[in-house]
Amino acid sequence: MKLEIVQVGNPVLRQCARPLSLAEIRSPEIRKLIKSMRTCMHDAPGVGLAAPQLGLPLQLAVIEDREEYHKEVPEALLKERERSPVPFHVIINPSIEEIGNDRAEFFEGCLSLSGFTALVPRARAVRVTCLDERAQHKVIEASGWYARILQHEIDHLAGTLYIDRMQTRSFTSMENLAAFWKGKPVEEVKSELELKSS
């Protein structure tokens, strides 16, 4: 199954995705879709991919933050982002709640807004209740970058994009991120852009 990532402007990215039934989750079609989504996410490359990004309004997302993605990231930045590898897993029909009041702001991109990024405030920690690819009930408690990935992908299932939550003055191309902001602490970037703390 060859999948293509749809870009912003496609109406499916603004729809609320529908839940999957237990029979659908256990079907060969969904197993095949999950396998194809994993390949598509790796090829992109990305750390998460939701079914609506492939034109499918289903409450299904795949997530994996591979160790190899961290090799080019400075240790200080990994620490600031609270980022560590996350093994491959599937979330289906998720619900999400914030844990505590701590917020974090970092540059965030999206495979459906190719070539752009912005500072996005998110909850630092979340609890996600969902089903896995075997239709087993699962509760995930996550913090740091993993919590950000979960929030980003679950937003997709509700028709929300990071541009709906971003600090608009920070919106930039990836080229300009590399040219002007790469390696700078978020607070310094916010100060230069005259952004208020979230």
Q: What CATH number does the domain containing 32 carry?
A: 3.90.45.10
Q: What is the per-residue pLDDT across 137-184, written as a single tens digit (0 to 9) for each?
A: 999 999 999 999 999 999 999 999 999 999 999 999 999 999 998 878
Query: DSSP letter at 111?
Result: T
State the pLDDT confidence band at 35, using cuts at 50, 70 and 90: very high
Give the separation between CA 66 and CA 78, rounded to whole angstroms.
13
20 pLDDT higher than 60: yes
Q: Which domain holds residue 102?
A: 11-192
2 pLDDT higher than 80: no
Neighbours of 157 (CB within 10 A): 25
Residue 38 burial (C-beta neighbours within 10 Å; 0-12, 13-18, 19+): middle
**According to the model, what pLDDT value does residue 39 have?**
96
R_g over Cα of the chain? 17
28, 32, 37, 39 alpha-carbon torsion, rounded to 10°: 150
- Is residue 127 situated within a structural domain? yes
- Is residue 54 situated within a structural domain? yes
Mean pLDDT, rounded, of the chain: 95
* Higher-scoring residue by pLDDT: 80, 132: 132
- Is residue 4 situated within a structural domain? no
Give the separation between CA 127 and CA 113, rounded to whole angstroms.
26
In contact, 15 and 57? CB cutoff 8 Å = yes
16 pLDDT higher than 80: yes
- Is residue 117 situated within a structural domain? yes
- Is residue 38 situated within a structural domain? yes
**According to the model, what pLDDT value does residue 92 have?**
98
Q: What is the per-residue pLDDT across 73-121, written as a single tens digit (0 to 9) for each?
A: 888 888 988 999 999 999 999 999 999 999 999 999 999 999 999 999 9
Percent of the chain residues topping a pLDDT of 90: 85
State the pLDDT confidence band at 196, using cuts at 50, 70 and 90: low
- Is residue 6 situated within a structural domain? no
Q: pTM of this prediction?
A: 0.94
Alpha helices in the chain (DSSP H): 22-25, 28-43, 75-81, 144-157, 174-176, 186-192
**According to the model, what pLDDT value does residue 182 have?**
84
Domains held by the chain: number = 1
Q: Going edge to edge, which strands form the sheet with 48-50?
A: 48-50, 60-65, 86-98, 125-131, 137-143
Classify 157 as helix, strand or coil: helix
- Is residue 178 situated within a structural domain? yes
Give the separation between CA 3 and CA 43, rounded to whole angstroms.
11
Residue with tokens 């919106």: 171
Give the separation between CA 22 and CA 83, rounded to whole angstroms.
33
- Is residue 5 situated within a structural domain? no
Q: Which residues are catalytic?
A: 153
